A and B are shown apart, each in its own frame.
Chain A
């Protein structure tokens, strides 16, 4: 059964870069024709899509975050990553990674989520 696991710092200082990694187990990112996405959820609020990446490297980003976000894939480590520079308190959220069959598809498998707090 495919599993996704987010990892990264739980506390980030304002104006620093938030960096998270999602490790894909029981499957190969390179051999599977899936999209891999990041979604976040601020405390007490709803879900916000950040972006998705194809194993070959093509990406789709939320226009509201596009100028700040970079999603990349490392097939050698079976991981994909999120970088969000210049963070503020508004970036405090639970960050989830998830799988899609195509960019317009549902997210069928999710990681457990990781809490990221932006605070000095």
Chain B
């Protein structure tokens, strides 16, 4: 079955850039979505179709793909960005939604 691999944690200082990786076999051929989840809250879609932002999501959030890795980039990180982040794809070989294991972003 298809697996998405994320680092368990990423730390970044306020004002710096955070990059959260999501690795998967041939992920370049898949569409990647990203979610932000704060404690006790439902996930919120922050990036869809690899790099598009829903209405209301700051331009500081962007998505990209290269090789077998998709990356969520958060520029000028703020304390309010501290959360868990999940990547998601659709695996066409098994017709199922796959989530990455999640990455906890800590703002130092």
Contact = CB atoms under 8 A, between A and B. Distances in A.
A47 B102 contact: yes
Contacts of B49: 106
Contacts of A60: 95-97
B1 interface: yes
Interface size class of A (residues with CB under 8 A): 20 to 34
Interface in B45-81: 45, 48-49, 54
A108 B102 contact: no
Contacts, number: 61
Given A46-B102, A49-B98, A63-B1, A103 B43 contact: no
Interface centre among B35, B37, B43, B96 (most CB of A within 10 A): B96
Interface stretch (A25-33, A77-85, A110-118): A110-118
Interface in B81-108: 84, 86, 88, 90, 92, 94-102
Given A62-B96, A63-B96, A110 B88 contact: no
A112 B88 contact: no
Contacts of A47: 35, 37, 43, 86, 88, 99, 102
Contacts of A63: 1, 94, 96
Contacts of B48: 105-106, 108
Contact of B97 (A46, A52, A108, A112): A52
Given A103-B90, A106-B88, A112 B96 contact: no
Interface of A: 37, 39, 46-49, 52, 60-63, 96, 103-108, 110-113
